[in-house]
């Protein structure tokens, strides 16, 4: 076996090893992305909390006031 043939075999082995490593990395990245996707949480909360005000400030001279919204916000729970 010549030195050229030996070098080609080593290069081929390195290429196969890198291909296997790249495929394994892709699988691991896919599993991690799937596990950490917030759209696929294991437990979903069905209740929502509203911000309420405990009092009002009547010492203001203008008619502008900030009050909590009376309607519940629309929440999208699934993103495709």
**For a pLDDT cut of 90, what percent of the chain falls above it?**
40
- Which residues have a Cβ under 8 Å from the Cβ of 48 and sit 6 or more positions away? 72, 73, 75
| Backbone phi, psi, residue 15, to 5° | -65, -45
pLDDT of 39 higher than 90: no
The full length of the chain comes to 80
Give the lowest-confidence range in 2-6, 13-17, 57-61: 57-61
Q: pTM of the prediction? A: 0.43
Instruction: Choose among 35, 20, 71, 23: nearest CA to 50.
Output: 71
Average pLDDT over residues 49-59: 52
The more confident residue out of 55 and 5 is 5
């Amino acid at each position: 076996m010549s030195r050229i043939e030996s070098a080609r075999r080593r290069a081929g082995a390195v290429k196969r090893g890198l291909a296997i490593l790249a495929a394994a990395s892709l699988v691991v990245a896919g599993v991690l992305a799937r596990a950490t996707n917030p759209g696929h949480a294991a437990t979903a909360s069905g209740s929502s909390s509203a911000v309420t005000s405990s009092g009002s400030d009547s010492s203001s001279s203008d008619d502008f006031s900030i009050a909590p919204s009376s309607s519940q916000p629309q929440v999208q729970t699934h993103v495709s």
